[in-house]
């Protein structure tokens, strides 16, 4: 929960980073919207800032939670120990992320 504490402290300081923003329509449960509105009111932020911050943190948490699934292929040796290829969803996620980022950058 330290990450959420850090997020709340960031809101307290009202620090913002320059970032490339885009709009994404999202459907929420009413109870979640109530909480977003409450955070926005208490921290004197707009709802989109609260929503974007919570979503960004959730994405980081989800990304770090993706499990490593050891495959049979040795991809390198580190400190005399074999490192095996990940055969889980992480490699596909990374490839999709890179492809989509390139498409969004180049407009293809």
Residue 93 sits in which domain range?
70-106
Nearest-CA neighbor of 66 among 87, 37, 83, 84? 87
pLDDT at 21 (0 to 100): 73
**Domain total in the chain:** 2
The residue among 3, 5, 50 whose CA lies nearest residue 28 is 50
Give the per-residue pLDDT at 22: 79
Cα–Cα distance between 81 and 49 in angstroms, integer? Answer: 45
Residue 50's Cβ-count burial label (10 Å; 0-12, 13-18, 19+) is: buried
Residue identified by tokens 């509105």 is 37
- Range 26-46 average pLDDT: 96
pLDDT of 1 > 70? The answer is no
Question: What mean pLDDT is reported for the chain?
Answer: 90
14, 60: one domain = yes
Q: Is residue 52 located within the same domain as residue 87?
A: no
Bridge partners for 84 per DSSP: 74
With a pLDDT cut of 70, the percent of the chain lying above it is 91
Say whether pTM exceeds 0.75: no
| Separation between Cα atoms, residue 38 and residue 11, nearest integer Å | 13
Do 46 and 78 lie in one domain? The reply is no
In this predicted structure, the answer to whether residue 48 has a pLDDT above a threshold of 80 is yes
Same domain, 58 and 86: no
Shared domain for 30 and 7, answered yes or no, is: yes
Whether residue 81 sits in one domain with residue 39: no
Written as six digits, the tokens of 105 are 């950058």
* For range 9-21, the mean pLDDT: 65
Residue 9 sits in the same domain as residue 61: yes
Regarding whether 8 and 60 lie in a shared domain, the answer is: yes
54 and 13 fall within a common domain: yes
Residues 6+ apart with CB under 8 A from 73: 84, 85
Provide the pLDDT for residue 42.
97
């Amino acid at each position: 929960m330290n990450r959420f504490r850090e997020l709340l402290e960031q809101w307290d300081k009202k620090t913002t980073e320059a970032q490339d923003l885009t709009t994404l329509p999202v459907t929420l449960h009413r109870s979640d919207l109530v909480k977003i509105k409450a955070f926005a009111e208490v921290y004197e932020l707009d709802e989109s800032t609260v929503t974007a911050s919570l979503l960004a943190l959730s994405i980081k948490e989800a990304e770090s939670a993706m499990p490593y699934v050891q495959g049979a292929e040795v991809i390198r040796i580190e400190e005399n120990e074999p490192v095996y290829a990940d055969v889980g969803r992480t490699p596909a996620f990374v490839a999709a992320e890179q492809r989509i980022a390139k498409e969004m950058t180049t407009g293809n």
